[in-house]
Amino acid sequence: MPFYFDTKSLYDRSHPCCYPSYFRKMSQQLSIAQLIAAAQEFGTPLYVYNADNITAQYQKLTSAFAQTDTKFFYACKALTNINILKHIKSIGCNVDCSSINEVKLALLAGFEPNNVLYTSNGIHFSEIEEAQSLGVHINIDSLSNLEKFGKKFGHSYPVGIRLRPNIMAGGNIKISTGHDKSKFGIPADQLTTILELVAKHNLHIQNLHIHTGSDIKDVDVFVKGIEVLFDIIPHFKELKSVDLGGGFKVPYKEGDGETDMILLAQKVKEAFDNHPNPNGNPLQVWFEPGKFMVSASGYLITEVNVLKETANTVFAGVNSGFNHLIRPMFYDAYHQIENISNPTGAAKHYTVTGNICETDTFAWDRNIPEIREGDLLVFKNAGAYGFEMSSNFNSRYKPAEVLVKDGKAMLIRKRDTFDDILRNQVL
């Protein structure tokens, strides 16, 4: 994947992290040898993450947006292992949470409350009260909770409002969140009611938030969202920031592009330059990238249990399933599969399936170097919404997780044991 070091780039050359040599030192991809060594040391199925890749993705964002006052909050729902959160903190990124427990994890990882954002949806007001007591930023996404917040806190605690801009965007309907039938956010067409509530309780609104979906490649979608906000911004005199959410596209298969960050940064800058805040203070722009930060950092290593030749296809059955990586079955998502035990073997067609007692196909009729039983198959781009959406379906264990950092592979989550299956069951 190309890096943005070219002359178009807006990155800050005076900053050591932006020297091309700094990037060269970082290894974007784990080698086959590293993956095999991890599988041998920790067993399979295994999630392995590359810290360097996360760092490089973050630097792509900060260098592209160097000319705009921007703050990035990693949407940690993509991958919440506390060691990943600590790495995210160590590179200077902030964190966005979607539950009070994610907020607590972030604080435990060492983030200052001021660097933690809680973008809530559909939650009980008590969770908002708890977030307030922890001192983090909060985005409220319903009139009902906004009213309760106003009654309880009035002007005393600055807060953000999540708006639904009524824009259709995202890779597929399941991950589109800004359209006019989506549950997320307060519909922008209810602005009058929002303003009445704000006035009634003298609410201190410091942030306006939108998030239209995931897998968004077209930068104009973000611009459209900003344009919706430009009509709303003038009504909020104490506004400090505008939060454009996450949703940047990452390439899953060859030929896929990713969101062009340089272009997006230029368009965002132009849009805000052309619409200075009528209330005076310039607005900081916030983003909440999830996939962009961690997707490519992650690998799911599995082992082939059985090969089954049939009239229609050859099944390669691995020691995993949608209990470990649900994206192919849930979103029809494509993940590249490499046979790291036989990378130069002659390619053949395989249907790669799991060991779950339900159809759990990872890939249909995929061209893969010859597979033998016992080979290690690796699913790429498994860092975001991989382990995080895993389960114990069929009473199978969740995989272990390993982080490769500074050349060392560290176990960051133990594999489940039978005790974990029984935990909380009343015997």
Q: Is 78 in the site for ligand LLP (CB under 6 A)?
A: yes
For ligand LLP, the binding residue among 45, 165, 289, 321 (CB under 6 A) is 289
Contact 382, 335 (CB under 8 A): yes
CB of 185 to ligand LLP, least distance (A): 9
One character per residue 311-330, x = contact with ligand LLP (rule: CB under 6 A): ----------------x---
For ligand LLP, the binding residue among 385, 390, 398, 401 (CB under 6 A) is 385
Q: Is 53 in the site for ligand LLP (CB under 6 A)?
A: no
76 is catalytic: no
| Residue 419, H or E segment | helix 418-422
Long-range contacts of 396-400 (CB under 8 A, 24+ apart): 396/321, 396/323, 396/355, 396/356, 397/421, 398/323, 398/324, 399/44, 399/45, 399/46, 399/47, 399/300, 399/320, 399/324, 400/42, 400/43, 400/46, 400/47
For ligand LLP, the binding residue among 3, 331, 393, 397 (CB under 6 A) is 331
- Measure the CA–CA gap between 300 and 399, rounded to whole angstroms: 9
End-to-end CA distance of the chain: 52
Return the residues of window 177-236 that contact ligand LLP according to CB under 6 A: 177, 211, 214
CB of 147 to ligand LLP, least distance (A): 21
CB of 216 to ligand LLP, least distance (A): 8
Contact 222, 169 (CB under 8 A): no
- Could you count the other beta carbons within 10 Å of the beta carbon of residue 310? 8
Q: 64: which strand partners?
A: none
Q: Is 399 in the site for ligand LLP (CB under 6 A)?
A: no
For ligand LLP, the binding residue among 88, 167, 175, 402 (CB under 6 A) is 175
Segment interacting with ligand LLP (CB under 6 A) among 30-38, 263-271, 282-290, 419-427:
282-290
CB of 326 to ligand LLP, least distance (A): 8
Nearest alpha carbon to residue 85 among 109, 57, 103: 109
Q: Is 57 in the site for ligand LLP (CB under 6 A)?
A: no
- Measure the CA–CA gap between 78 and 282, rounded to whole angstroms: 31
For ligand LLP, the binding residue among 60, 201, 291, 396 (CB under 6 A) is 291
Catalytic residue from among 17, 18, 93, 357: 357
Q: Which two tokens stand for residue 184?
A: 């997320």
**Catalytic positions, written as ranges:** 357
Per CB under 6 A, residues contacting ligand LLP are 75, 78, 96, 119, 175, 177, 211, 214, 245-248, 288-292, 327, 331, 384-385
